[in-house]
Amino acid sequence: MTQTLTAPATPPVRKGGGGARPPRSGSRRPGWTPWLYLAPALVVLAGLLVYPVYQLGLISVLEYTQAQVSGGEPTSFQGLGNYQKLFADPQFWQVLTATVVFAGLCVLSTLFVGCAFAVLLTRVRALPRLALLIASLGAWATPAITGSTVWMFLFDADFGPVNRLLGLGDFSWTYGRYSAFALVLLEVVWCSFPFVMVTVYAGIRAVPAEVLEAASLDGASQWRIWRSVLAPMLRPILLVVTIQSVIWDFKIFTQIYVMTDGGGIAGQNLVLNVYAYQQAFASSEYSLGAAIGVVMLLLLLAVTLVYLRLMRRQGEEL
């Protein structure tokens, strides 16, 4: 019995050259499907962010005072007049400088305290660690106005226990410019360091134990282990908490307003947020207050763009 061998059928060749192309897997583009999932969040963001920012920018280029709010006078277009008036005011530059310096000190102090406590959490036993976490998260969860009021009582010139313990008598912390800023800085660090502590502690726990043991066996001190081993490995986490602390501390309002009674004596403790509030609501210069808000928005946007660029570089290195 003989078998007949037949050659496999040759697929027809299309005119114009080239055989039939096999379908490529994964070549289908997602299209609009991801945007459909993001649409609800984008609508909420547009309502909560885009429209208010648009209104802020619009008011900043108009003449918008109490007369326009009450309808007594028509609103007129000022262009960059409000910004020129703002930049020509020496007090604005003083407040801006004070805000940048104060926010920088708050950020550095918060990072130092938060990182120190994060390392401490890795050195203590379970029960002290739990107690420290609960106390720190309690400070973090305390509303800003409540924490500011408590700190005002603790450092009160007449009834505060801190002055009695330090033997300062009736010393007023809020009378001097630098002592008032120092008091507010302590309160800001107290309510802000738990975020840094928990975030950095989680990053430290993710570092392989063998790496830390090898550094200890090589004779490295705790400071050297942090500077040469932990800090480079935790760089993305440290970058995140730094940028977020900059944004938070640059926008401080409640602590300054409550603890210095609206900006201190003769405005010596003003920061940009409180300064904008005074211009907009105390002086009824709503357009000038809006211009200050736009300047703050642009500054924080610049910080955010720097943050995104650094994160992108970090991602490329990893």
CA triplet 199, 201, 205: central angle to 5 degrees? 120
Q: Within a 13 Å sphere around the CA of 131, how many CA atoms are in the beta-carbon half? A: 4
Cα 117 to Cα 196: distance, rounded to the nearest angstrom: 9
Q: Please provide the distance, in angstroms rounded to a whole number, between the alpha carbons at the two ends of the chain.
A: 68
Determine the pLDDT at residue 169: 84
Cα 246 to Cα 105: distance, rounded to the nearest angstrom: 10
Q: How many helices (H) and strands (E) does the chain have?
A: 16, 2
Cα 57 to Cα 298: distance, rounded to the nearest angstrom: 11
CATH 1.10.3720.10 fits 95-278, yes or no: yes
Element of type H or E holding 37:
helix 33-45
Strand partners, 63: 76
User: Running DSSP on this structure, what letter comes out for residue 161?
Assistant: H
Tokens 């800090």 map to which residue? 231
**Long-range pairs of 248-253 with CB within 8 A, sequence gap ≥ 24:** 248/192, 249/102, 249/103, 249/106, 249/107, 249/110, 249/188, 249/192, 250/99, 250/100, 250/103, 250/296, 250/299, 250/300, 250/303, 251/296, 251/300, 252/102, 252/103, 252/106, 252/184, 252/188, 253/277
Determine the pLDDT at residue 316: 46
Determine the pLDDT at residue 87: 94
| Phi and psi at residue 309, to the nearest 5° | -65, -40
Per-residue pLDDT of the chain (318 residues; tens, 9 = 90+): 444 444 445 555 454 444 455 555 545 566 788 888 888 888 888 888 888 899 999 999 988 888 887 777 888 888 899 999 999 999 999 999 999 999 999 999 999 999 999 989 988 898 999 999 999 988 999 999 999 999 999 999 888 899 999 888 889 999 999 999 999 999 999 999 999 999 999 998 888 888 878 888 877 787 888 888 888 888 888 888 988 899 899 999 999 999 998 888 888 999 999 999 999 888 888 999 999 999 999 998 888 888 778 777 766 443
Q: How far is CA 253 from the centre of its chain?
A: 14
Give helix 90-121 / helix 177-206 axis angle, nearest 10°: 40
Determine the pLDDT at residue 207: 85
Determine the pLDDT at residue 151: 93
The two tokens of residue 28 are 């289908």
Q: What residues contact 133, with CB distance under 8 A and at least 6 apart?
A: 121, 198
Cα 7 to Cα 30: distance, rounded to the nearest angstrom: 42
Spell out the domain ranges in the chain. Answer: 95-278
| Phi and psi at residue 65, to the nearest 5° | -120, -170
Determine the pLDDT at residue 315: 60
**Long-range pairs of 120-123 with CB within 8 A, sequence gap ≥ 24:** 121/197, 121/201, 122/201, 122/204, 122/205
| Phi and psi at residue 62, to the nearest 5° | -115, 165
Cα 102 to Cα 260: distance, rounded to the nearest angstrom: 14
Cα 41 to Cα 204: distance, rounded to the nearest angstrom: 33
Cα 19 to Cα 215: distance, rounded to the nearest angstrom: 62
